[in-house]
Each structure stands twice: as structure tokens, then as C-alpha cells.
Structure 1
Amino acid sequence: MSRRSWPFVLGGLLIALLLAGVVSNYASAHPDGLDSSLLKGCTVNAEGEITGGSCPAQKSQRHELSDSPLADYGVRGISNGFLSTGLSGVLGVLLTFALGGGLFWLARRRGPAPAGASAAPGGGPAGTDRPASRAGSAG
């Protein structure tokens, strides 16, 4: 990565951390479109529990990763909701940045191509059958 692109990358990382750590706490607490459509036909109380009716959400089951440290947009063990959600977002951004950076690091070019790797089979430049002319000759 060139020296000129580091400020751009670090600026983007800082903005992502700010959004994940602070602004994510102000996201809507109301169910999104999928949750709303799965609850159609059911009666739901103030805690979000189904109390009656018939809807697809009644057949839902616990997810196998529901006990993981970052389940439900928070960090397990932190009782402060604002801090838990913000920390979860920051950890997610850092993990994604680390994985993405690692993949880009592995995929980057390791150096110049070997000599002759771009030459055509006849020894000349690609697309010709004659040898490359020497610099300065009128060939």
C-alpha cells in the first residue's frame, strides 16, 4: 500500500469505528421487515413475546450460536446496553478490518514479474515475431 493511501484507510477505519461504537446504539429497536412479516397474525406483548394468534414466528427455534459472546448485537457479560452494543460493533469492525487486511496482504503482488514472463514466445515484444530492437536503433 502506498503512503498516500494510509490516511484514507485509517480515516475510513475511524469513521467505521465511530458508527459502530456510537451511532449503532441509535438504530431502530423496532423489528425489521422480515421480523414484522413473520409476526403477522400473532398478538405480541410489550416484551415482544407472542401471546396469541397464529404466525410463522411461533415455529422459530433458538439459533445454535445464540450463546456466543457477540450474539444479539451485544457482548455477553456486559449489563450496560449502550456499552455492550457499542463494544460489539467496534469488535465486529476490527475483526472485519483484520480479516480483510489479511486477505489483501496475502493476495498482494510480491514483487516484479520474472524477466521474460511478459515476452512473446519468439523473444520479441508480445504480438510480434521478431526480436526486440535495441534502444536507440532505427529498427
Structure 2
Amino acid sequence: MSTKRFFAVFLLVAVVVAGLLSFYASSHPDGLTKVAEDKGFISQEKEHTLKDSPLSDYGVKGVGDERLSGGLAGVIGVGLTLAVGGGLFWVLRRRGAPAGRR
């Protein structure tokens, strides 16, 4: 399998998992929330400064359908992660290449 084909399949799988399967993720609280509940200091929780951001609460603000909102948030998250990671990889690779190979 070629490298391009591998990355295309990887991207497709990542988008499908983020867009379709994220709706079926656990509705139970995450580890920190669970510990805060168990130890009794959940009442000290404060609102996050980014609570009104477009992707807050694992959804896209303004999209009424919960399933679609979560799926879009997952796809956007995968895209942003790949863009930032790919950009960093490209910059670092170019930086370390010998002068004749740039």
C-alpha cells in the first residue's frame, strides 16, 4: 500500500469515527468530574472561560440537532488536529533538511 493511500484511508477512518461514532461515546462523566463528585468538591467547579466558544460542550454552537452538532465538532476537531500537526511536521522537516534539499 502506498503512503498516500495509507494516509487517505487513515483520514477516512478518522473522519468516520469522529463524525459518526462520537455520538455513541459514553455519557458518563470523565475522570476528573467523577473524582470531584466522589470526593465532594464538585460544588467548587467554575465555568470555563471558553464556555461560549463555537465548539464548547462537544458540539457546534448554533446547530440544533445534537447528533449532527457532535459529529461536526468531531470532524472539525480531527481537521484542526491534522492541520496543526501536519503544519508542525512540515515546518520541522523543512528546518532539518540539508540546504540542497529545500
| TM-score, scaled to structure 2 | 0.86
Aligned partner letter, 2:74: G
Superposition misfits of 4+ residues, deviation over 4 angstroms: 109-114
- The structure that has the greater radius of gyration is 1
Calculate percent identity across the aligned residue pairs.
49
1:76 pairs with one of 57, 61, 64:
61
- Structure 1 residue 109, shift from structure 2 partner: 4.3
| Aligned counterpart, 1:87 | 72
Does residue 62 of structure 1 match 2:60? no
Tell me how many residue pairs correspond in the alignment: 98
Comparing both structures, which one devotes a greater share of its residues to helix?
A: 2
**1:83 counterpart letter in structure 2:** L
Q: Which of 8, 15, 39 is equivalent to 1:10?
A: 8
Displacement of 1:57: 0.7
1:112: Cα distance to partner? Answer: 5.2
How far has the Cα of 1:88 moved from its partner? 0.1
User: Any unmatched runs of 5+ in structure 1?
Assistant: 42-54, 115-139
Higher relative contact order (CA 8 A, sep 6+): 2
1:12 Cα shift?
0.8
2:87 to 79, 102, 105: 102
**Which whole-Å CA distance do the structure 2 matches of 1:70 and 1:109 have between them?**
32
Write the distance in 2 (CA, Å) between the matches of 1:18 and 1:82: 13
Q: Is there any run of 5+ residues in structure 2 with no aligned partner, and where?
A: none
**TM-score of the two chains, using structure 1 as the length reference:** 0.64
Instruction: For residue 108 of structure 1, give the secondary structure of its aligned residue in structure 2.
Output: helix
